[in-house]
Structure 1
Amino acid sequence: MTRIILFLLLCLCGKIAAQNDLYKADEITYDIHKANIGKVTFMNGNIPLAEYKKTDILKSFELKPRSDLNIRVFMDNSVVNYLHQLAPELSAETLLKTGNLQFSFYVDGKLIYTENIHHGCNFGSGGNKNTSTVFRVPLTSTKGEDWWAMNMWERFKNNGGEKVLNTGTHELKIELRPYIKIDDTIKTGNLIAEGQLKLLIKPIVLTKKQIEVQQIQPGSDWEISNQSFDKKKIEELNSAIGNYNLKEITSVVVIHNGKLLLEEYFNDANRNTLHDTRSAGKSFASTMMGIAIDEGFIKNENQTLNTFYNLKQFTNYEPKKDSVKIRDLLTMSSAFEGSDSNGNSPGNEDNMYPAENWVKFALNLPMDKTKTNGGQWDYFTAGVVVLGDIINKTVPQGLEKYADEKLFKPLHITNYQWQYTPQKVPNTAGSLQMTSLEYAKYAQLYKNNGLWNGKQVLSPEWVSKTFTKQIQIPERNNEFYGYLFWNKTFAFEGKNYETFYCAGNGGNQFIVFKELPLVIIITSKAYNKQYAHPQAEKIVKDYILPAVLDYKR
C-alpha cells in the first residue's frame, strides 16, 4: 500500500514538474523502470533494457581486474529538464553546454570521489539528454568499449578508490545529481538516483607458469638470442602484469643485437595476435614517404602542398596554405589550425572522423595566425592523412600495393591489416595492425639503418633525417620529434640512453635505442588511460634495462 501511494505521489509531482519542463520526457513503460525510479542499478555486462529483469540487478559482484560492471540508471525525468530546474532562465542549448550529471562515489559509507562529467558526455544509443529517462554506461569492460564512464571509474580509483578497495568486501554507493557551471560557479541539484553494491575483492594468485619467463617457440623469422639476462627481473615484470599493477599489457618483445631475446604475451594475446597500436602506425607514413622520395616519385620533403593540390579549390584559402611542406606534416609543425590536444580546435581529429572525406577536411581548415609553417610542434593527425593521400596518388598502383611491395615483402611481413579512410585509402592516421614480431621487424629496420637481409629497403639518409631532433616538443623536457618518430632519453644508473620510438594510444611503443643494440616492442590496450605511456616507460626502466644491462654473468 505504501509503495502504491509513493508511486502515485511521484506521478502527481511529475505532472506538476512536467508543466515547466523544456521537453516531454520519454514515457516510463517498462515495469523494471517503474519499480526502480530514482535507482542506480548494477549489472554484469550490457543487458538490453527490454530483457532486463529484477533478477539481473546485482546485489553483490566480484570485482576482478578484467570485468564487465555496468550501471543502468532509472530517472523520472530527462537530464536537460533536471538542468532546467536548476537554471530556468537558460535555454536548452546553453544548459547542455554548461551542465550534465554529477557522480559521487562512496566506499563503506565514506565519500571518496566526485566528478562533474563533461557537458559533452552522452549516454550511447537511446541516451538522448533531452528526453531519455534511462541510460546505461559501463564502469569496467572486457568488450573493447571506450566510454567516458570507464575513464571516470579510473579517475575514481586513482583518487582514492584503489586504496580503499583492498582485499575483502566493501559497499560501493553511487549518487547522481544534476549540475551546471556558470562563470566558474557550480550549482548542484537534488539527488535524482542512487544505488549500492557489495564488491568482493579477492587476492590474485598467480601460477608458476604465469610468472616464469615464457619460452620462445621456433617458427618465426627471428634467430633466437643466446644472450644472458636477469630472468628474475622478467619474472618480476610478469608478476606486475599478472597482478594488474601494470594494466592491459598484451606483449613485450625485446630484440638484442638483431636477435629475439624476449617474447612475452599477456591478457589473451599470442604470437598471432594482430595488435591495434593506434597512432604508432603513423610512423609507417614517414617510412613510405622516404621510400617514395628515394625512388623519385616524390622530389623531396621540401615540396609544398600546392605541388599536389589546387588549394584554391578548398575553403579558407590563403597563400600561407600553399607553402606548407611535406616536412611540416612529418614534424607536426604545419600552420594549419589543427591540434589534437585542443578539443576546441577545428582540426582536432575527433572532428575529422565523422567527415565524408578526411583529406578535404584537412585542406579545408583555416590557417592559424599564431603559427608559422615549420615553427611550432602541435600534434595534428589530419596532416598525416594528407601525407598518406600524397603517397597514394603519386606512387604506382597506390599506397597499399606500394607498401606491400616495397616494405612488407622485403621484411617478410605478411600478417597485417590496414584500416582505411572513407575513400578506401590506407589510413596513415594509425591502427595499422600487426603481430608483435612483425612490428619488431619494422623497428629493427631502423636500427639496421634501413638494411634488411642484405637489401637496402630504406635509405640511410632517410633514417638519419627521421632520427634527428627536428623540433622540440613543447612542455616536455629534452623530448623532440623527428619524421613521425618521437625522441626521448632514458636515464639509467647515471647514464643516458637516447631513443627514437613510435607511440600510440593505449601505451603502445616501438623503441629503438641509438647506442644500445636494443629494440623493444610494447603493445597494450590501456586506451585513453593516463597511466598508459608512463607504465610503458616503467617497463623499460624498471625491468628490461636492469635485466639486460645489469646482469652479472
Structure 2
Amino acid sequence: MREVGKKLRRLGFAAVFMLAASATQARSQGSPACGLPAALGDGWTIDSPDSAGLDSVRLCAISARLKEIEANVHAVVIVRHGKLVFEQYFAGYDEPWGQGGGQHDFDATTKHDMRSASKSVISLLVGIAIDRKLIKSADEPVVKFFPDYSAQKSPGWDNITLRHLLTMSSGIQWDENRGWKDPKNDEPHLGNEADPIRYVLSKPVAAPPDTVWTYNGGGTDLLGNIIERVSGKSLEAFARDTLFAPLGISDWEWMKYANEKIAPAVGLRLRPRDAAKIGQLVLNKGDWNSKQIVSAKWIAQSVTPRFQAIGYFSGLFFYGQQWWMGRSIAQEKEVKWIAAMGSGGQRIFIVPDRDLVVMTTSGLYFRPYQGDAALDMMANYILPSVRDNNTR
C-alpha cells in the first residue's frame, strides 16, 4: 500500500485532466452517463451531477483513476444540495465481518462494514439520549451508569465523564496501535473478554482527563452500553427506533464480537447510500426532511475540534466527539470537512461550505495509506467538480 500512496502523489493534476478528457471522449461517442444513481425508493431524491452544480465529466474520471492506482475502493456516493447525484460501485477484495477475506461484488443494495465510522453513529445516539433526557448531559460521570462495577473500577475513574469518552480524552491506559495479535493491543480484548465492560473499567488512569488524546474504542463500547442501560433497550433497538427508522434506513446490521457482545465501536454495517444519510443529517444540523432527529446543539458540539489527532489514519486531523475534522486543498483553495472514518477506507465526508456529502467504502484493512484514495478523490476530482456558487 505504500506504492498506492506514491502513485497518488506521482500522478498529480496532469492525470486528472487526462482522465477527464477520456471521459469527455467517451461521452461524445454515446456512452451512457456514468454514476447515475439508482431509484430505490429509499428516501433519496435523485438528480444529476450537472443539475446539482457538479462537473459530471470530472466525476466520470474517478473510476479510471481508481483502477490506475489499484485503490480497491468499493463505492463512491455523492450527495449535493440534499440530492443523491452520483454513485459508482466496484468489485474487489474485502473482509466482511465474520466472513474472512475474498473477492466480492458491490452495488447499491450491498451492505458494507463501517468499522470505526460506527463510532460517529454512537455519538449521534448519545446526543439523542440526551435530547430525550435519558442522560442529563455529556458531563455526567461514567461510573454513575455502572454501579455494579464499583468494586472493579480503577482509581481515577470517578473524574471521567461521558464527554471524555466521546473526545477520547479519558486518560485511561489504552493502546490500539499494536499488531492485532499483540496481547498488549487493547482492542481485541473487547471481543475476547467474557466481560469487556469490566476490562475497560479496570484499565488504570494514566493521565488526568481532558489532557491527552488517545484513540480508544473501549470508551465507545462503554457509551453503547450506557445507551442500553438508560433506554432499557438493546443498542440495535434504540438505534432503529430513534435514528435509522426516521432516516428511512431499513437494511442494516450491528454485529457482535466473538464473545456475543454487541460491538458499538466497530460493528455497524450499512449500504453506502444509507451511510450518506448519516452525513446529510449532520450537514443539516440534525434535521432530516424537516424533522429534528438530533438537536442542532449536539451536532455543533460534536463537530467542534477539541484535540489534535496525531498518528491515527494517514493525515493530520482534529477530533471532536467521535467525529474527525480536516481539510483538503483543491485548486489552491482550502476546504474544511467533517468526517466519520473507519478502518479499511470507510469514509463519510461532510463539506458544509460546498453543501456536499461524500461516502466511500473500500477493503484496505490494517494497511497504511488506507484513506489516501478517498482524500485523492476529494482533492482532485470531487471538490474541483463544484462549479456553481450555490453553497452554504
Q: TM-score range by the shorter chain?
A: 0.7 to 0.9
Q: Distance in 2 between matches of 1:347 and 1:327?
A: 24
State which of 303, 313, 317 in structure 2 corresponds to 1:479: 317
SS at match of 1:512: strand
CA 388–423 in structure 1, closer or farther in 2 if over 3 Å, else same: farther
Q: Distance in 2 between matches of 1:312 and 1:358?
A: 15
Q: Distance in 2 between matches of 1:550 and 1:538?
A: 21
Greater mean alpha carbon deviation, residues 450-459 or residues 487-496: 487-496
State which of 314, 320, 326 in structure 2 corresponds to 1:488: 326
Deviations 1:435-494 (A, max 9, x none): 111101111001111111121100011000011012222369862111100010112223
Q: Distance in 2 between matches of 1:335 and 1:433?
A: 30
State the shift of 1:250 in Å.
Answer: 0.7
Instruction: State the TM-score, normalizing by the size of structure 1.
Output: 0.59
Instruction: State the TM-score, normalizing by the size of structure 2.
Output: 0.82
Spell out the pairing of 1:95-244 with structure 2 (5 A cutoff). 213-220=34-41, 221-225=43-47, 226-243=51-68
Spell out the pairing of 1:208-287 with structure 2 (5 A cutoff). 213-220=34-41, 221-225=43-47, 226-243=51-68, 245-267=69-91, 268-287=105-124
The amino acid across from 2:78 in the alignment is V
State the shift of 1:211 in Å.
Answer: 9.8
Spell out the pairing of 1:28-427 with structure 2 (5 A cutoff). 213-220=34-41, 221-225=43-47, 226-243=51-68, 245-267=69-91, 268-310=105-147, 311-314=149-152, 317-318=154-155, 320-342=156-178, 346=184, 348-368=186-206, 371-421=207-257, 424=260, 426-427=262-263
Give the equivalent residue in structure 1 for 2:305: 469
State the shift of 1:399 in Å.
Answer: 2.1
Q: Distance in 2 between matches of 1:388 and 1:364?
A: 18
Q: Distance in 2 between matches of 1:503 and 1:159?
A: 18
Check conservation: 1:470, 1:481, Cα contact below 8 A.
Answer: yes
State the shift of 1:402 in Å.
Answer: 1.4
Give the equivalent residue in structure 2 for 1:137: none
Check conservation: 1:285, 1:428, Cα contact below 8 A.
Answer: yes
State the shift of 1:514 in Å.
Answer: 2.4
SS at match of 2:75: strand
Q: Distance in 2 between matches of 1:332 and 1:521?
A: 24
Q: Distance in 1 between matches of 2:338 and 2:257?
A: 27
CA 159–493 in structure 1, closer or farther in 2 if over 3 Å, else same: closer
The amino acid across from 1:248 in the alignment is N
Check conservation: 2:168, 2:213, Cα contact below 8 A.
Answer: yes
1:430 aligns with 2:248: no
SS at match of 1:463: helix
Deviations 1:178-202 (A, max 9, x none): xxxxxxxxxxxxxxxxxxxxxxxxx
State the shift of 1:246 in Å.
Answer: 4.0
- Bigger RCO (CA 8 Å, 6+ sep): 2
CA 280–159 in structure 1, closer or farther in 2 if over 3 Å, else same: closer
> Number of aligned pairs?
346
Q: Distance in 2 between matches of 1:352 and 1:404?
A: 23
Give the equivalent residue in structure 2 for 1:539: 377
CA 478–277 in structure 1, closer or farther in 2 if over 3 Å, else same: closer
Check conservation: 2:178, 2:185, Cα contact below 8 A.
Answer: no
SS at match of 1:438: helix
Q: Which runs of 4+ in 1 moved over 6 A?
A: 157-160, 208-211
Q: Distance in 2 between matches of 1:159 and 1:409?
A: 39
CA 475–437 in structure 1, closer or farther in 2 if over 3 Å, else same: closer
The amino acid across from 1:521 in the alignment is M
SS at match of 2:386: helix
Q: Distance in 2 between matches of 1:426 and 1:498?
A: 33
CA 294–550 in structure 1, closer or farther in 2 if over 3 Å, else same: closer
Check conservation: 1:276, 1:431, Cα contact below 8 A.
Answer: yes
Deviations 1:154-209 (A, max 9, x none): 56x6799xxxxxxxxxxxxxxxxxxxxxxxxxxxxxxxxxxxxxxxxxxxxx9x79
Give the equivalent residue in structure 2 for 1:57: none
* Unaligned runs of at least 5 residues, structure 2: 7-22, 92-104
Q: Distance in 1 between matches of 2:127 and 2:276?
A: 19
Greater mean alpha carbon deviation, residues 385-394 or residues 524-533: 524-533
SS at match of 1:444: helix
CA 313–549 in structure 1, closer or farther in 2 if over 3 Å, else same: farther
SS at match of 2:203: coil
Structure index of larger Rg: 1
Q: Distance in 2 between matches of 1:478 and 1:214?
A: 31
Q: Distance in 1 between matches of 2:290 and 2:53?
A: 27
SS at match of 1:273: coil
* Unaligned runs of at least 5 residues, structure 1: 1-153, 161-205
Check conservation: 2:74, 2:361, Cα contact below 8 A.
Answer: yes
Greater mean alpha carbon deviation, residues 294-303 or residues 391-400: 391-400
Check conservation: 2:331, 2:384, Cα contact below 8 A.
Answer: no
Check conservation: 2:5, 2:372, Cα contact below 8 A.
Answer: no
The amino acid across from 1:222 in the alignment is W
State the shift of 1:219 in Å.
Answer: 2.5
State the shift of 1:528 in Å.
Answer: 1.5
Deviations 1:310-354 (A, max 9, x none): 344216x21x11111100110011111112125678462133322
Check conservation: 1:246, 1:535, Cα contact below 8 A.
Answer: no
Identify the structure with the greater helix proportion: 2
SS at match of 2:357: strand
